[in-house]
Structure 1
């Protein structure tokens, strides 16, 4: 009997089995294999793994979508769908759909993003608390959430409770932010967008909130800016803020100099990459769902990355089309884009997205069953239950989809077109115009077979600018839509595709390539045959230097007969890049104004919005940021974000603090980790093993630590002379973070080691997070060293590692600090002090550095 039960259980795989199979699948791309295994491979809460490679996942997804297809006429088969999604080649469900479709081990939503809000713009305490609970309930089901704060009355307004006056927006920003930080979803934090209208009298407080240390660290913030404000900025005139916003009979009104507030927005964005800007009139005027605003589809905010503006309780699921795969004969003179196949696949992508809505409705039913079965009182469960009923209603009624793209940069390079050039912008525009037309055509055809979305009304939409562009571009499509209706209220987006692009092994989303090539080293045994030794370090270890290529840059080399296994010098690599279609087309090379213009042109063919970042060098002026923002508004962007290199490093302090006050205070680290930290590289030996530590610094004080073996195949291999660099916190599209180390070689060429947290033993990583937490909360270094030394851990290896961490941190203890509770090994005196990281006895002079 036991044998029969075992036989019926699904087959599981060990971590090593699945990783090695995934590594082979991704052709030895370690990072892609780990991302897939950690984020998307089917596993239960006990860590059992049920999928060996991504094609197992693709088969799982195809099976579920095919099941939905059988409900409708002319269904696609499982193999039809599998062949579209396998190998991440053509169509890639993103994030939550990839992880959740056919997953029996999670009761979670398939939606990537939600927006919530109170009907009637209620700003009562009860309404504010209701939103707080709703965002937590959504985040625990794996969703990113956005909501707007413009309904909250400004600071100092009268209220009929014991407080007598309102506290304004900022305290509630902190409440929502803190709730987000508390929620863990599949090992990651919640993701939140907070927005407010520039017309709100507290908008300046909102804009400044994140500059103060430790404030609003769990949310992205964006300002909703209307055309009237932008015209006032351009013309140097005044602007009137109101509460309620844009009211004809406001309770509060104040007139401000538009340019003064504008400069504050620009300065803060230049300094810290926030707030983002949402050009709200453009969003509303272009929005097809806002044709149904009186029926509950008034757009109020966006998801955390800004690419999906939504009405309250609506949600969206995301899917990316891999543009690179439609380039035939890539990187040759015969390269061409297969528009016929592309059009066909855009239609399939829209159809699959519509199927995923049905799967989401099933998931919501399961969530509701789970809520009903929970033992809490009905009054406790009521907010959560009503939340999901509202979300289900919007999903059923509007059937919103999020068809997008990835690999824009690689597509252009494969065609021999420079990203950011006039030709590049023109070709990208043609591609996105094609997506818009064919996705809408597919939605019309789906309406014929499956029915229209419940509130479709062609009369409401007839003057919408986006619909008018479709009519002008393809009158046949427009008149078919009048006759048959449409299946989906809105269809398109361009989202960031962090983990998706790792698995497609392409550039991310609409962005250009970040870096086409960099170098690494690996340790070799010089006695092995056919081994190449490029470098021998000071202790006699031999190393082979090898080049890591961006996948499609490597493909360009192969197509052009360049030996990818050759040991290239830096000069040769530089020359290679110059010959390639990626030359002067990286994220740091692209002309900023050209990129803004490209975004504005493409935005006209995307009915939702576009997530794109304008990357700027550290030395750009605030004036340039202001020019880019103004240009973005003028060319029709719906939103824009700039990131100035290094702008999130350092400690931000409150504007109100004077210099003298700051100097008198104990320096505190920010609760939110800056994106970029200076870092020391510390090497040490433990029991003849070579170890390495990366110590992230703020004001030359330790803030975090990453450590592990430096000389095994899975370790960190960097030149011995590197002792300083940057630890950069990068974010994936599903909200997860990774930490990359970047240094410059002797020629100034940047090299990046991706994913420090993936390079070390997970056991070490968990303890490193503990020690980093004590560092970040300002615990004195010598006390942390004492804490580490006092730990009694389970295994010899972890104790060896523990001792190494203590040694790495000792060097940061201020000279002269007394070491309490320790005795000199020589004279037994307790008069010990730290000196250059060593314990020195003041009585006998002996020193111990171990």
Structure 2
């Protein structure tokens, strides 16, 4: 077959994305945890013997190609993926890593053919990664061939309306987070707030209260010790607590370990369009509690999304009536993974991997034959991953192996379009997206059918729509997903998922020179840098100018043909994002993780239109982010008021220490010994505190010194002194003592009282600090003088976080919550 020619592909009958609604979650009978277990413990689930799971890495052949690695890829691999010794030194190279993964995953071939030539499979798998044509998800890339061997990226766990279920699921979630996975949950089965609890006579806390419990517990657990934790909390639109859920993240310091999405039914969306009422139903009783106007609830969803990006929406009936769930008689999808692209049944997990589309863009068009070969090998790889996975929860193993869902996706789409000379926000761009995904989806299905001929269909295939239609057996329930590619796109040196380029040039602000001074480093998109140098346009002045916005759309120094191809996220209208997402969704079994980016000036009406457009165009869900919306505090006064913004002060920096400060030292008796407290001030006011108790080197002395240092940082950062005093006074220790008629509860209490007395003495002398009197006006003035808003900064490197693929990520050090 001639390269560059797109072969005709046909979607099998019955696989259209949008079908008439044939099921509704509201009509499904209530299930219990026991019923979940009973359905899925199947005798025909194949167990992988320990001898394969723990097989030694095959000897590396001498003829392997060397990995293609950019500088950023080497940094990421070294920092987050390579095996290290006890001193933190890497003990393997990138080539060793790829071979370790390939060798381990190839072992699964022996389950189906004891004479399998696994070295041949290992070579194919290795080449996919080394040539950056395909990358598996991070848990697989990091964990295959190592002790933990947990290779799945995403999970959905059930939450039934019982304390036992709530706690059991939380326990399972903690285990999953410890091994590097992310979880989704539907809280829709929980009875509403203030509903009856017959066993105790108390009132229920409701779904949002238990989300807070989960948030606090999971926040204490690092996701695999590598990346920030990720969760998805979902609630049905017809749950009586839906309004509380919608507002759950209006305070941006609340439920910070969750993304949240409203599970919207077709009936709800129809009522939104018509402006009619719909019913809220108590899941405990199945009875209607009240009726609400659907458009009012929808407006609240959009207003909160405008504020800070949450909640998103999942169109749940569409999910269940598509290829996302061909086994509806086993149950309905109620939740997705943390970024929304992977609808899963309760206790199901999924393995993900992404093809780098930029590798197949050639001068004559797309290399379709080469792409087909990679699709077949990648499908084989992902099917093997299921067998080589060590599942930490038995129910998850049963469901995952019973359905064998995989998620083959893409990355590098924007790079592919640039190489082909196609504008991202154009009709040819949309058509190319649909064309390439149709090809991948069709070939992945064919590859799964091919595997089923030698390995058998997935064990629950006979319960599927495909079986009932008489279609050929499939090895995997669903095959394609567009997942966040986070760090794996950095390793593959390509653009993220199906997102546009975020910025052609941006400045990293986390680099220091040898003297310790902070400097800025320009980061330039590689394709843009190449063409600018090729045209002789490269200059520091031009790069600095582009870095101000990241875009060349309004630059008069860039030729029109370059501006036409090199578009960035904020050059696009929201509908441009949605058109691309809808084009890919037409030919994706599962769903898509993509962020619809809005400028800061966007209105709530703009968000409403985007949410409605995504539903009308056939998407299964939507996530939006308005630029800078998480950098502001948003206040709503009264139910009829439109949201307004109150900007917060810029990032606080402690003021420099002058050469000379003045103050006094006080001795206070505490239950741990005499505490010596020195309080100093500069010209502005209270500046620092030193504290010493007992002998140097003791635990008590260390703790007191730490508290004093934190007080000093707070004072130097102009935190009001009365707030500090309020936090310290009243902290009670195990051995309070009396001094001069005053009870000293503990060393922190003594520090608070010492600060209070110092202020009292100054007041007596008429030296009340401006620091206290004018603190609020000072902060306001600081902000008004600054041209920079406060920003969400990366906790690891200090660069500005961005939002794309439904995920938070850092363009500098590549820290991400996903993939």
TM-score, with length taken from structure 1: 0.66
- Cα 1:36–1:428 change in 2 (3 A) is same
Match of 2:319 among 273, 283, 295: 283
Q: Post-superposition shift, 1:830?
A: 11
- Cα 1:552–1:164 change in 2 (3 A) is same
Task: Show the counterpart of 1:621.
Answer: 603
| Residues 1:62 and 2:96 are matched in the alignment | no
SS in 1 for 2:447: helix
Q: Post-superposition shift, 1:491?
A: 1.1
Task: Show the counterpart of 1:448.
Answer: 453
- Cα 1:576–1:834 change in 2 (3 A) is farther
Q: Is the 8 A contact 1:520 1:547 kept in 2?
A: yes
Task: Show the counterpart of 2:718.
Answer: 812
SS in 2 for 1:620: coil
Task: Quote the Cα distance in structure 2 between the aligned partners of 1:449 and 1:491.
Answer: 18
Q: Post-superposition shift, 1:788?
A: 10
**1:634-653 residue pairs with structure 2 within 5 A?**
634-651=616-633
Task: Quote the Cα distance in structure 2 between the aligned partners of 1:114 and 1:787.
Answer: 50
SS in 2 for 1:630: helix
Task: Show the counterpart of 2:329.
Answer: 294
- Cα 1:680–1:292 change in 2 (3 A) is same
Q: Is the 8 A contact 1:577 1:583 kept in 2?
A: no
Task: Show the counterpart of 2:483.
Answer: 495
- Cα 1:155–1:448 change in 2 (3 A) is same
Task: Quote the Cα distance in structure 2 between the aligned partners of 1:239 and 1:507.
Answer: 42
Match of 2:126 among 63, 82, 92: 82
- Cα 1:831–1:200 change in 2 (3 A) is same
- Cα 1:822–1:61 change in 2 (3 A) is farther
SS in 2 for 1:490: coil
**1:702-717 residue pairs with structure 2 within 5 A?**
none
Task: Quote the Cα distance in structure 2 between the aligned partners of 1:542 and 1:490.
Answer: 52
Task: Show the counterpart of 1:662.
Answer: none
| Residues 1:551 and 2:595 are matched in the alignment | no
Q: Post-superposition shift, 1:47?
A: 2.7
| Residues 1:199 and 2:238 are matched in the alignment | yes
**1:89-128 residue pairs with structure 2 within 5 A?**
89-104=132-147, 107-118=148-159, 122-128=160-166
Match of 2:204 among 166, 169, 172: 166
Worse-matched range after superposition: 305-314 or 648-657 = 648-657
- Cα 1:512–1:254 change in 2 (3 A) is same
Match of 1:307 among 328, 338, 341: 341
Q: Post-superposition shift, 1:655?
A: 7.3
Q: Is the 8 A contact 1:244 1:252 kept in 2?
A: no
Task: Show the counterpart of 1:712.
Answer: none
- Cα 1:548–1:124 change in 2 (3 A) is closer
Q: Post-superposition shift, 1:499?
A: 1.0
Q: Post-superposition shift, 1:42?
A: 1.5
| RMSD of Structure 2 on Structure 1 (CA) | 4.2
Q: Is the 8 A contact 1:649 1:677 kept in 2?
A: no
Task: Show the counterpart of 1:430.
Answer: 435
**1:398-477 residue pairs with structure 2 within 5 A?**
398-457=403-462, 460-461=465-466
Q: Post-superposition shift, 1:66?
A: 2.8
Task: Show the counterpart of 1:710.
Answer: none
Q: Post-superposition shift, 1:682?
A: 7.6
Task: Quote the Cα distance in structure 2 between the aligned partners of 1:493 and 1:45.
Answer: 37
Task: Quote the Cα distance in structure 1 between the aligned partners of 2:200 and 2:691.
Answer: 49
Q: Is the 8 A contact 1:496 1:508 kept in 2?
A: yes
Task: Quote the Cα distance in structure 2 between the aligned partners of 1:787 and 1:252.
Answer: 63
Q: Is the 8 A contact 1:686 1:804 kept in 2?
A: no
SS in 2 for 1:184: coil
SS in 2 for 1:209: coil
Q: Post-superposition shift, 1:213?
A: 6.5
Match of 1:185 among 216, 220, 223: 223
SS in 2 for 1:145: strand
Worse-matched range after superposition: 649-658 or 167-176 = 649-658
- Cα 1:619–1:313 change in 2 (3 A) is same
Q: Is the 8 A contact 2:320 2:328 kept in 1?
A: no
Q: Post-superposition shift, 1:347?
A: 1.1
| Residues 1:611 and 2:593 are matched in the alignment | yes
Task: Quote the Cα distance in structure 2 between the aligned partners of 1:822 and 1:179.
Answer: 40
Match of 1:349 among 378, 394, 408: 378
Q: Post-superposition shift, 1:625?
A: 0.4
| Residues 1:317 and 2:358 are matched in the alignment | no
SS in 2 for 1:496: coil
Question: C-alpha deviations, 1:358-399, integer Å up to 9, x for none?
Answer: 111xx23xx5xxxxxxxxxxxxxxxxxxxx111111122111
Task: Quote the Cα distance in structure 1 between the aligned partners of 2:181 and 2:369.
Answer: 35
Q: Post-superposition shift, 1:57?
A: 1.1
| Residues 1:40 and 2:84 are matched in the alignment | no
Task: Show the counterpart of 2:498.
Answer: 510
Q: Is the 8 A contact 2:482 2:592 kept in 1?
A: yes
Question: C-alpha deviations, 1:77-106, integer Å up to 9, x for none?
Answer: 43222222115x1010121011101123xx
Task: Quote the Cα distance in structure 2 between the aligned partners of 1:342 and 1:686.
Answer: 65
Worse-matched range after superposition: 785-794 or 192-201 = 785-794
Q: Post-superposition shift, 1:186?
A: 3.1
**1:322-333 residue pairs with structure 2 within 5 A?**
322-328=356-362
Q: Post-superposition shift, 1:234?
A: 0.7
Task: Show the counterpart of 2:247.
Answer: 208
Question: C-alpha deviations, 1:187-215, integer Å up to 9, x for none?
Answer: 34432111111011111111112224743
| Residues 1:220 and 2:259 are matched in the alignment | yes
- Cα 1:495–1:792 change in 2 (3 A) is farther
Q: Post-superposition shift, 1:644?
A: 0.6
Task: Quote the Cα distance in structure 2 between the aligned partners of 1:451 and 1:806.
Answer: 68
Q: Is the 8 A contact 2:102 2:125 kept in 1?
A: yes
Q: Is the 8 A contact 1:410 1:507 kept in 2?
A: yes
Question: C-alpha deviations, 1:399-421, integer Å up to 9, x for none?
Answer: 11111111111111111111121
Structure 1: where are the runs of 5+ without partners? 1-8, 11-23, 329-333, 368-387, 465-478, 526-538, 660-668, 688-780, 824-828, 838-850
| Residues 1:238 and 2:248 are matched in the alignment | no
SS in 1 for 2:327: helix
User: Of the two structures, which has the highest relative contact order with CA contacts closer than 8 Å and spacing of 6 or more?
Assistant: 2
Question: C-alpha deviations, 1:491-528, integer Å up to 9, x for none?
Answer: 11111111112222221111000111246799999xxx
SS in 2 for 1:162: coil
- Cα 1:213–1:348 change in 2 (3 A) is closer
| Residues 1:679 and 2:714 are matched in the alignment | no
- Cα 1:459–1:155 change in 2 (3 A) is closer
Question: C-alpha deviations, 1:309-347, integer Å up to 9, x for none?
Answer: 10011101111111111112xxxxx45221111111111
Q: Is the 8 A contact 2:655 2:716 kept in 1?
A: no
Q: Post-superposition shift, 1:302?
A: 0.5
SS in 2 for 1:132: helix
Q: Is the 8 A contact 1:546 1:567 kept in 2?
A: no
| Residues 1:395 and 2:395 are matched in the alignment | no
Q: Post-superposition shift, 1:169?
A: 1.9
- Cα 1:427–1:157 change in 2 (3 A) is same
SS in 1 for 2:248: helix
SS in 1 for 2:196: coil
Task: Quote the Cα distance in structure 2 between the aligned partners of 1:457 and 1:567.
Answer: 65
Task: Quote the Cα distance in structure 1 between the aligned partners of 2:691 and 2:385.
Answer: 49
Worse-matched range after superposition: 622-631 or 450-459 = 450-459
